[in-house]
């Protein structure tokens, strides 16, 4: 695999970062994951806007302009012959010299890394037909979940707990309400109405979420942005989640309770189709 590191395209084994990089010692880094379908980048502008926002929230400047970022994405797709897959992008605050909580001096170069992950069959994921099962887990992450940082230990622990319990993923709860999934935004459907938590610092502002809600509104579907509980989700007609890599994914069981028929519902199926169709049209 050929990867991108600070201006160079290198074989992955030759791409090396300092042990003093703050991404490594402090989790002082932000990231994005973007899908590739039919060799094109989905939601490029949405991910770039959120990257810039995450960087600014942490006092870093976006080191490149849109054309440069897009060219790197396209070049990696070409070099690695990616038809369907993901592009991972990470920007860290760079080499801080000695380990220190204080940021390194202004002008210290950021570390920019991008790599591809081939995922043949990404759009045709068989899990979208069967749906997935989740458990709920207390949300013990920090208070700025709107910033997409690489502090992913707690979500990793939650994912492992889910696997341990024989299910696929976990939904986080706080003060009795669902915040989001380990790596996705969460939704329920009741009497045809789509319910999802409103944006705040408590959740990541999903790029897939923003587009899906726009497409759903354009299709005259009803949407309510408010928190919901696990009990409400268990009593809903349908549930699903969204992310750049899963698109729209039906959830058929929560904490051992089957939803409705126990099979993916029509609203999630329609939204998945709608999302894939519209986002492919807007791909770069």
Strand extents, DSSP E, 207-279: 223-225, 238-243, 247-254, 257-258
Closest CA to 96 of 24, 7, 15, 32: 24
d(CA 20, CA 109): 13
Say if residue 226 is exposed, middle or buried (CB neighbours under 10 Å; 0-12, 13-18, 19+). Answer: exposed
Copy the structure tokens of residue 82. 């990616």
What is the rounded end-to-end Cα distance, in angstroms, of the chain?
22
Looking at the Cβ atoms of 111 and 185, the one nearer to ligand PLP is 185
Copy the structure tokens of residue 138. 């207390």
Does residue 205 come out as left (phi exceeding 0), alpha (psi in the -120 to 50 range) or beta? beta
Q: How far is the CB of 208 from ligand PLP (least distance, A)?
A: 3
**Residue 263 known to be catalytic:** no
Looking at the Cβ atoms of 4 and 172, the one nearer to ligand PLP is 172
Q: How far is the CB of 106 from ligand PLP (least distance, A)?
A: 29
Looking at the Cβ atoms of 50 and 93, the one nearer to ligand PLP is 50
Q: Which of 75, 119, 129, 148 is catalytic?
A: 148
Copy the structure tokens of residue 64. 């490149």
Looking at the Cβ atoms of 198 and 261, the one nearer to ligand PLP is 198
Looking at the Cβ atoms of 24 and 88, the one nearer to ligand PLP is 88
Looking at the Cβ atoms of 54 and 111, the one nearer to ligand PLP is 54
Cβ-based neighbour number of residue 99 at 10 Å: 10
* CB within 8 Å of 114: residues ≥ 6 apart: 3, 4, 72, 73, 76, 87, 88, 89, 90
Alpha carbon of residue 135 to chain centroid: 19
List of residues contacting ligand PLP (CB under 6 A): 33, 180, 183-185, 204, 206-209, 242-244
The one-character DSSP state at 115 is E
Q: How far is the CB of 164 from ligand PLP (least distance, A)?
A: 20
Active site residues: 148
């Amino acid at each position: 695999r050929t990867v991108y590191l600070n201006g160079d395209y290198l074989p992955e084994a030759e791409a090396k970062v300092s042990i003093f990089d703050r991404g490594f010692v402090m989790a002082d880094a932000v990231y994005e994951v973007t899908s590739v379908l039919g060799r094109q980048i989905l939601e490029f502008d949405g991910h770039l806007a959120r990257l810039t926002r995450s960087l600014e929230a942490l006092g870093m400047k976006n080191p490149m302009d849109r054309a440069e970022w897009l060219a790197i994405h396209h070049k990696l797709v070409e070099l690695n012959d990616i038809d369907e897959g993901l592009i991972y992008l990470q920007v860290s605050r760079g080499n801080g010299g000695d380990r220190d909580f204080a940021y390194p001096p202004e002008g210290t170069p950021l570390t920019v890394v991008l790599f591809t992950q081939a995922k043949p069959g990404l759009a045709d994921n068989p899990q979208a037909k069967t749906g997935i099962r989740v458990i709920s887990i207390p949300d013990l992450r920090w208070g700025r979940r709107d910033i997409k940082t690489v502090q992913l230990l707690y979500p990793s622990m939650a994912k492992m707990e889910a696997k341990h319990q024989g299910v696929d993923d976990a939904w986080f709860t706080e003060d009795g309400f669902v915040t989001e999934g380990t790596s996705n935004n969460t939704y329920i459907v009741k009497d045809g109405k789509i319910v999802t938590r409103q944006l705040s610092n408590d959740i990541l502002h999903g790029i897939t979420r923003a587009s899906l809600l726009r497409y759903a509104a354009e299709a005259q579907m009803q949407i309510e942005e408010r928190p919901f509980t696990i009990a409400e989700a268990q009593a809903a007609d349908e549930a699903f989640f969204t992310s750049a890599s899963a698109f729209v994914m039906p959830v058929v069981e929560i904490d051992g309770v089957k939803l409705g028929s126990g099979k993916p519902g029509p609203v999630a199926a329609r939204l998945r189709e709608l999302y894939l169709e519209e986002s492919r049209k807007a791909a770069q």
